[in-house]
């Protein structure tokens, strides 16, 4: 019984069209806090298993961790985001704390959050090209800045 | 970065072109007021609460509708002694009053989440421990717990390993909060406090060095248990700290808590309401300072925190003084927890005896060829983790520290994400600072206690 105790969080797969309304409904149900919002690039795992009732797997997946403080429960939402249209409505109106997290996902994965108040890069330099956490943005592809320096 | 395209081949060039087209994202600056509509003002205030346009317009006339020539946009940081690293704040000032504030981060970004994808689960601890470098044990713990969840061994960790983990996590919290005492004192001009806080933290780090071999960046908590058993004489090391600290903490009280100047500088500064803290996703001492009782150790207990007695310290005003007092008293609560752990530390294994994740004992390597191969394979190839995804979180010194791992069945995480409390908490800054004084800005940053290694990762 040792080690853990952390309950296995329930997961819900949400269709992209119902994403915003689902989060709003859940906020009314008590999931008052958005703890985390991140994304995964499933480029190398196109045939991964998803439950039958979920939407077909897409390249990107946005993962949202919600927390209900009163009932002490968590819920993880997984939303499929296609490669050819990587957009999702922002959660800023429901959970303003997602502002920085959505900017990070935009910066790292190039997923755009429509109606986000300030969708700019947050961790990478403003003039950076590409989105580093995408699987096709390879490590070491960027030339070393000081390669011309004398040894 | 503009010259990078010249040295790459055609495919790369077209890749860049596509990416450029896809990343027209504008700059991160704080723009002058004359260029802004009310709606855009709201956008610049960033992570503040939902505001109607009318409310946002009202923001503009704080304290009374300033003309452009009366206000000034200045940069504070990225190199500034009280920004705790490389945090840059753009402040719009009217005289001494802060009208707007925008934190600009990323100066320490080294792509640690990407690095995490290149390292095996066995190596991952060395990476995450460097993120929030003031709470290394908590980072390792979240990472190890998420990995164990994926392996399905989270229920089989030996008792002694769990209690060692709790001991180290609480000592780590003490070290982190002691350093906060030091930096908070320094930021507000109590410079001798800086030396005291650093001195006490060093005592804890010395204990860490005895146990893990390193003062920081321990890589001590590993999937399956901990790296090594506690050394002989560890109990004396802990007791020494427990005997030493209460008196020193009382000195802090004398030096700061009851002192009128200290109170003047902190009380009523950087106020945040419970609703705002929840909406902004703030956790840890910031959330608790508003009176919300939320501590994962008590409310979603992990490890054996449910078997221990401790209090969750909450404030009532949500100001910088509450956050200071909460951290000071959390050191005392951690000491209380450590005392209970000392009484209950069981004997037994310090890591799981599962050949899949645990290397053979050192002595076996000398006598057994199989043990040597086994050891070699674990450290070169790592161990495979079943496909799946898991999120595990712990109460770090700064709030909820979570780790989200996606596994594709190989020995490296397919994706490793850390939910860093500092990254989220820093969104409170524009909110806490609005309408305050520049001098208080330093107190506000200090009271949020961001660690930029964790913010930028």
Report pTM: 0.86
Please count the other Cβ atoms lying within 10 Å of the Cβ belonging to residue B146.
30
SS3 A47: coil
Tell me the sheet residues that pair with A13. Answer: A78
Q: What is the ipTM of this complex?
A: 0.87
Q: What is the pLDDT of residue B155?
A: 84
Nearest CA in chain B to A125: B106
Separation between Cα atoms, residue B205 and residue B199, nearest integer Å: 10
pLDDT in tens, chain A (151 residues): 233 333 467 888 899 999 999 999 999 998 989 999 999 999 888 888 888 778 888 889 999 999 999 888 899 999 999 989 999 999 988 888 888 899 999 989 999 998 888 788 888 887 788 888 988 877 665 555 665 555 5
Q: Is A47 on the interface with B (CB under 8 A)?
A: no
Nearest CA in chain A to B39: A117
Q: Measure the CA angle with vertex B276, ends B417 and B60; round to 5°.
A: 110
- Residue A9 has which token pair? 């969080």
CB-nearest partner of A97 from B106, B162, B279 = B279
Separation between Cα atoms, residue B264 and residue B268, nearest integer Å: 8
Whether residues A65 and B391 touch (CB distance < 8 A) is answered with yes
Q: Is A12 on the interface with B (CB under 8 A)?
A: no
Q: Which residue has 């346009």 as its token pair?
A: B53
**Looking at chain A from residue 60 to 119, which residues have their Cβ under 8 Å from any Cβ of chain B?**
63, 65, 69, 72, 74, 76, 92-93, 95-101, 104, 106, 108, 110, 117-119
Whether residues B161 and A3 touch (CB distance < 8 A) is answered with yes
Residue B48 has pLDDT above 50, yes or no: no
Whether residues A2 and B419 touch (CB distance < 8 A) is answered with no
Tell me the sheet residues that pair with A73. Answer: A68
Is residue B436 a contact partner of residue B445, using CB atoms and an 8 Å limit?
Answer: no
CA distance A34 to chain B (A): 6
Enumerate the residues of chain A whose CB falls inside 8 A of the CB of residue B161. 2-3
Query: Among B442, B425, B422, which Cα is nearest to B91's?
Result: B442
Enumerate the residues of chain B whose CB falls inside 8 A of the CB of residue A34. 281
Whether residues B283 and A130 touch (CB distance < 8 A) is answered with no
pLDDT interval class at B3 (50, 70, 90) = very low
Separation between Cα atoms, residue A151 and residue A20, nearest integer Å: 55
Query: Among B161, B263, B389, B195, which Cα is nearest to A36's?
Result: B389
* Range of weakest confidence among A49-53, B301-305, B345-349: A49-53
Question: For residue B249, which phi and psi values (nearest 5 degrees)?
Answer: -65, -35
Query: Among B388, B424, B429, B394, which Cα is nearest to B409's?
Result: B388
Sheet holding B97-104, edge to edge: B71-76, B88-94, B97-104
Is residue A64 a contact partner of residue A76, using CB atoms and an 8 Å limit?
Answer: yes
CB-nearest partner of A35 from B105, B279, B402 = B402
Sheet holding A60-68, edge to edge: A11-14, A73-81, A60-68, A33-41
Q: Is A130 on the interface with B (CB under 8 A)?
A: yes
Q: What is the pLDDT of residue B354?
A: 82
Q: Write the DSSP symbol of residue B253.
A: I
Whether residues A133 and B7 touch (CB distance < 8 A) is answered with no
Separation between Cα atoms, residue B417 and residue B369, nearest integer Å: 38
CB-nearest partner of A96 from B7, B280, B292 = B280
């Amino acid at each position: 019984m040792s080690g853990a105790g952390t309950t296995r969080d329930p997961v819900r797969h949400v269709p992209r069209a119902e994403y915003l309304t689902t989060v709003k409904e859940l906020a009314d149900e008590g999931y008052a806090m958005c703890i985390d919002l991140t994304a995964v690039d499933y480029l190398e795992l196109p045939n991964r298993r998803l439950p039958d009732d979920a939407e077909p797997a897409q390249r990107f997946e946005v993962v949202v961790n919600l927390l209900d403080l009163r009932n002490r429960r968590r819920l993880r939402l997984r939303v499929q985001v296609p490669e050819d249209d990587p957009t999702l409505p922002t959660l800023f109106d429901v959970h303003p704390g997602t502002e920085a997290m959505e900017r990070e996902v935009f910066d790292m994965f190039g997923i755009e959050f429509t109606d986000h108040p300030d969708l700019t890069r947050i961790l990478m330099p403003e003039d950076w090209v590409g989105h580093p956490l995408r699987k096709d943005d390879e490590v070491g592809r960027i030339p070393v800045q000081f390669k011309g320096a004398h040894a | 970065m503009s010259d990078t395209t010249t040295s790459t081949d055609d495919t790369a060039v077209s890749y860049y072109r596509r990416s450029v087209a896809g990343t027209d994202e504008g700059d991160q600056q704080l723009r002058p007021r004359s260029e802004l509509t009310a709606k855009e003002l709201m956008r610049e205030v960033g992570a503040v609460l939902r505001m109607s346009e009318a409310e946002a317009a009202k923001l503009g006339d704080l304290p009374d509708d300033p003309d452009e020539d009366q206000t000034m946009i200045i940069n504070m940081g990225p190199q500034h002694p009280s920004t705790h690293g490389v945090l840059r704040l753009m402040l719009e000032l009217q005289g001494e009053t802060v009208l707007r504030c925008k934190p600009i981060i990323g100066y320490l970004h080294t792509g640690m989440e990407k690095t995490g994808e290149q390292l095996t689960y066995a190596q991952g601890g060395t990476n995450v421990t460097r993120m929030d470098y003031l709470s290394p044990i908590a980072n390792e713990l979240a990472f190890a717990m998420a990995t164990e969840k994926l392996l399905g061994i989270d229920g089989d960790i030996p008792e002694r390993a769990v209690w060692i983990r709790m001991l180290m996590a609480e000592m780590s919290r003490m070290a982190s909060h002691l350093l906060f005492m030091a930096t908070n004192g320094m930021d507000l001009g109590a410079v001798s406090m800086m030396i005291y806080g650093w001195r006490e933290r060093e005592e804890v780090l010395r204990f860490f060095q005895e146990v893990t071999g390193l003062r920081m960046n321990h890589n001590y908590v590993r999937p399956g248990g901990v790296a090594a058993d506690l050394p002989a004489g560890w109990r004396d090391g802990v007791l020494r700290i427990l005997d030493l600290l209460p008196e020193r903490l009382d000195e802090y009280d004398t030096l700061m808590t009851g002192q009128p100047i200290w109170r003047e500088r902190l009380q009523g500064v950087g106020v945040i309401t419970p609703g705002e803290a929840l909406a902004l996703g703030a956790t840890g001492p910031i959330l608790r300072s508003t009176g919300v009782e939320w501590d994962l150790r008590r409310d979603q207990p992990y490890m054996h925190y449910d078997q221990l007695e401790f209090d969750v310290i909450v404030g009532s005003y949500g100001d910088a003084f509450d956050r200071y007092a909460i951290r000071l008293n959390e050191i005392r609560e951690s000491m209380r927890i450590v005392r209970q752990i000392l009484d209950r530390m069981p004997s037994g294994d310090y890591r799981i005896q599962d050949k899949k994740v645990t290397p053979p004992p050192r002595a076996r390597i000398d006598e057994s060829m199989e043990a040597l191969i086994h050891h070699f394979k674990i450290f070169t190839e790592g161990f495979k983790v079943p496909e799946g995804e898991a999120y595990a979180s712990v109460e770090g010194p700064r709030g909820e520290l979570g780790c989200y791992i996606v596994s594709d069945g190989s020995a490296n995480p397919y994706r490793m994400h850390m939910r860093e409390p500092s990254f989220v908490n820093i969104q409170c800054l524009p909110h806490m600072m609005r309408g305050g004084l520049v001098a208080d800005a330093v107190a506000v940053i200090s009271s949020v206690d961001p660690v930029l290694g964790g913010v930028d990762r």
